[in-house]
Structures are given as C-alpha cells and as structure tokens.
Amino acid sequence: MDWASKNTTTAKVNGFTCKSNVTAEDFFFAGLANPGATNTTAGSIVTGANVEKIPGLNTLGVSLSRIDYAAGGLNPPHTHPRATEIVFVLEGELDVGFVTTANVLISRSIKKGEIFVFPKGLVHFQKNNGKSPAAVISAFNSQLPGTQSIGAALFAATPAVPDDVLTKSFRVGTKEVEKMKSKRFVKD
C-alpha cells in the first residue's frame, strides 16, 4: 500500500490493519536474533518473521523465518502453500532436499553461507546430520507463506485422517497407522 496515503487510517487490507502513522518499529523485528529452543520432538524449531509479527509487511509480499536445528535435528517434510523458499545457512551443515512433481528428489548438502531453493508448494526438508547445532535464515515471496507439516497433517490432524486413507496411501496396516498416530501430538 502507499504508506503516504491519507486514506488508509483505519482500513484493513488482506485482513491486516493498514496503519496511517507508521514508525520504524512497524518495519523492524528482533525475534530472529537468538536461536530457538531445539528440544522438540524433531530437534528443530521455526521462528517466523511475517506480517503477523511485522505490520509494515502488509501487501509487500515477502517474509523471513529462522530455523534452528539440534545435532541430528530434522525440519520434517513440509510444504508452503503460498511461497517459494530460499535458505541461507547461518551455522553448521545441513542435508536438504525437495521432491519434484515427477517424484525426483533434488537434494544436496549445504554448509555455512551456502543457499538452496525450495520451489513453491513442493515437499522439502532439512536435516542436520552434523555433530553441532545448525541454523538458517529462510526467505519467502509471501507475507504469510503458511506451512503444512506432512507428518502432522496426516497423522496428527483433528479430527483424525481416516485410517483407511492412511493405510492405502502408505501401504501399511491399521496397526502401524494407529501406532504412528499414537506417537504424535498435534503440537508438532
């Protein structure tokens, strides 16, 4: 939007307020400065810096995230429904990959200072196979890219995805599916 416009005092654009008296704080965020706590089930944590945190991003079509990984940590296979992602490695080394619509795995090991692209909407992941922590900055061409974690979406949804959908999709029995569901929490 036009930050100088007189007309935007109380308007909402994209469902977010369009402030008329912006200050530097509306374009600033300090929340990516420190590593997030990686003592999660997967050993990784994503910290977002999008329009929900930075009002000035509204209508501007870009955002960042920071991802921290414990040694052995994984950012499990997921998609971003509304954006392409580029990661820049801040620390450590990661094995990263995405799968094309032809089921070709495009993967590589990337280390500090290197970057890798995950095309819009495709399943991708990053794993820290090193012995020390790792971290990346991710850039997205959306102010709110959204994230869908495959494992959580299929095995920890509320209500649950029907067993017969999962057994047939993953070629396993109901017992295995029930076990996979039982091992998860919605907060993934």
Which helix (H) or strand (E) covers residue 182, if one does? helix 174-182
Q: Which 115-174 positions form the footprint of its own copies (CB under 8 A)?
A: 115-123, 125, 127, 129, 137, 139-142, 144, 146-162, 164-165, 168-172
Assigned token pair, 119: 């095309």
Pick out residues in 57-96 that bind its own copies (CB under 8 A).
Answer: 57, 60-64, 74, 76-77, 79-86, 88, 90, 95
Interface with its own copies includes 4 (CB under 8 A)? yes
Closest distance between its own copies and the C-beta of residue 15, in Å?
3
Q: How far from chain centre, in Å, is Cα 172?
A: 28
Q: Locate tokens 């089921």: which residue?
A: 103
By the rule CB under 8 A, 178 interacts with its own copies: no
Displacement of CA 93 from its chain's centroid (Å): 18
Q: Which of 71, 107, 163, 178 binds its own copies (CB under 8 A)?
A: 107
Does 19 help bind its own copies (rule: CB under 8 A)? no
Closest CA to 70 of 95, 47, 36, 107: 36
Candidates 48, 56, 92, 130; binder of its own copies (CB under 8 A) is: 56
Least Å distance, CB 174 to its own copies, is 14
Minimum CB distance to its own copies, residue 128 (Å): 11
> What token pair was written down for 43?
């050993």
In order of 63, 71, 102, 115, the CA distances from 109 in angstroms are: 24, 15, 22, 10
